[in-house]
Amino acid sequence: MSELANDLLKKRARQLDPPSRFSSEEADSLGQLPNFRKNELHLSTQNLPDITSFFSQLEVFTNDNGYKFQTYYKPPRNKVDDSSVIFVMHHGAGSSGATFAKLALAIETQCEMQSICNVPGVFTFDMRGHGRTGLLNSSSEENNKLSFDKLCDDFRLLLQWFHERYISEGPPPSYFFVGHSLGGSILTKVISDDVNKNVCLEKNLGQLIAGLVMIDIVEDTAVKALSAMNSYLNATPKQFPSIEHAVRWHIDSNLLHNHDSSLISVPSLFTRTEEGQFKWIIDLRKTETFWQEWFKGLSSRFVSIPNRVSKLLILANNDYLDKDLMIGQMQGKYQLVVFHNNQLKHVNTLTTATQTIPSEDASDLGHFVHEDIPFKVAACLLDFVERNDYSFASSNSSSSNIKSQVDLLTALNAKWGVSQ
C-alpha cells in the first residue's frame, strides 16, 4: 500500500468519531475536577464552558422501554415572521451532542454578522451509549446495542418526541438534518426509508424535512477504514489522569484542532472512576459486530433521495468520492463542499459543482471539521438553507424590491454570482 493510501486509511480510521460536556446534573458522575497546575499542559481548564451556554433547554426523553436520552435544544429566534428553520444534528460513534456546541453558537453569530433576522434553532442529543445518555443508562446492556436499525429507530422516536414537545402547537418549521460520520448515515437511512415508504415518520414529519447535510463521510473510505479500527482502538489510552490530559491527547493526536471547541466536547466523553481516573463512557470495541452495517449502502441511499430534500456533502481535506457519489455529483443531485487547510478566502459555496472553501477558525482541520472551523461550517449551512428554503430566504432579504419568488431568486443569484 502506498504511503498516501496508508495515511488516508489511518485518517479515515477516525471515521467512527472518537470522541463531547455534560449537563449540570452530572456532577456526581464526573466528580470534582482536580486543581490543575496552570502551566502543566499549557491548557486552562479550570473554568470549563458549560453546555448550557450553548443550549438553553436540556431535557431527558425516555422511550417505552425505559431507556433515557439526553437532549439539547437551542430554539429559533424569529424577528420577521413565524416561519422557522431548525437544524436537527446527529453525532457519530464515540462522540456526543456537545460536538455541535460551538457550531450552534457560530450559527447564531453568523446570523448577527450577516444581519439575518430569523435565527435557526438547533436540536441534538447524545446517542445510545454515548455521553450523558450512556451515564443515564449505565447499568443497562442496551448501551452497547448499537445496531443500525435500532439507532435509526431511536432517532425517529426522538424526532417525534421533539416535535410534539416543542413544535406541535406552533407553525411547522423547516427541518434541516445535519449528521457527522455515522450520524450522517443514520439520517440518510431515516429519510430514505420515509420517502420510499419503508418506515414512515409519524405525523407526516417527513414533509417538513427540507435538507440533509452529511459531514465528512464517504461510504467507500469508511468501510475500508474499518479494517484498521481495532488497531486504532488498541492504541488509544483506556483512561486519563485528568480532563486536561484527555484534551491534550485529542489535540496532539490531531483528532481535534480547535482548542476552544475541545474544552466543550472532550469532557462529555468521560466519566470519573473511583480511583480518580477519567475513562471513556462508550467502549467502541463492544459495538464491533455492527460496524459494517453502519455504512453499507450509504452513498446510493444519499444520491437516491428525491430532490425535494436538498442535499449537501461536506468533506475535510479530501475530495475523494466513491462511484455512487461521483455519478450523483456529475448529475447535480447534491452540493459538494470541500474544506482545505491551504486556502485563505471564503469563496462562493452555492453551486452544485465542487467548491473549495478555506478555514479560518483553526490553523488545521480534520474529520471533526464542524468543531475545527465552526464559523466556516455555519456560514456554509446558512447559505445552504437560504438556497433551499424560500420562507427563510425571503424573511431575511433586505431588498424592498422583492415581491415574488422570481424576484428573490434573481436577488440571490446576483448575491452568489450566478449568471442567468
Average pLDDT over residues 362-366: 84
The 3 state secondary structure assigned to 1-17 is: CCHHHHHHHHHHHHHHC
Look at residue 43 in the predicted model and tell me its pLDDT: 46
Q: Is residue 257 among the annotated active site residues?
A: no
Look at residue 44 in the predicted model and tell me its pLDDT: 44
Q: Please tell me the least confidently modeled range out of 90-94, 109-113, 183-187.
A: 109-113
Pairing of strands 121-125, 68-74: antiparallel
Average pLDDT over residues 160-182: 95
Q: Is residue 260 among the annotated active site residues?
A: no
User: Do the Cβ atoms of 42 and 257 come closer than 8 Å?
Assistant: no
User: Do the Cβ atoms of 288 and 403 come closer than 8 Å?
Assistant: no
Mean predicted lDDT score pLDDT of the chain: 84
Average pLDDT over residues 98-125: 95
User: How many CB atoms are located within 10 Å of the residue 208 CB?
Assistant: 16
**pLDDT band with cut points at 50, 70 and 90 for residue 34:** very low
Q: Is residue 364 among the annotated active site residues?
A: no
Nearest-angstrom CA–CA distance, 13 and 369: 15
Nearest-angstrom CA–CA distance, 394 and 404: 9
Nearest-angstrom CA–CA distance, 67 and 145: 12
Look at residue 168 in the predicted model and tell me its pLDDT: 82
> What is the residue extent of each domain of the chain?
3-388, 395-420
Look at residue 391 in the predicted model and tell me its pLDDT: 78
Please give the span between the terminal C-alpha atoms of the chain, in angstroms, as a whole number. Answer: 47
Q: Which residue out of 367, 372, 391, 395 is catalytically annotated?
A: 367
Specify the 3-state DSSP secondary structure of 80.
coil
Chain centroid, CA 180 distance in Å? 4
Q: Which residue out of 84, 96, 174, 181 is catalytically annotated?
A: 181
Strand partners, 211: 176, 310
Look at residue 183 in the predicted model and tell me its pLDDT: 99
The domain made up of 3-388 has a fold known as Rossmann fold (3.40.50)
- H-helix or E-strand spanning residue 341: none
Look at residue 318 in the predicted model and tell me its pLDDT: 81
Give Cβ neighbours of residue 89 (< 8 Å, ≥ 6 apart): 97, 100, 103, 122, 123, 124, 177, 178, 179, 180, 183
DSSP 49: P
Look at residue 115 in the predicted model and tell me its pLDDT: 87
Higher pLDDT pick, 61 / 419: 61
Look at residue 9 in the predicted model and tell me its pLDDT: 43
* pLDDT of 2 over the 60 cut: no
Q: Which residue out of 17, 126, 154, 216 is catalytically annotated?
A: 216
Nearest-angstrom CA–CA distance, 322 and 299: 8
User: Do the Cβ atoms of 86 and 176 come closer than 8 Å?
Assistant: yes
Look at residue 392 in the predicted model and tell me its pLDDT: 80
Cell numbers for 155: 432517532
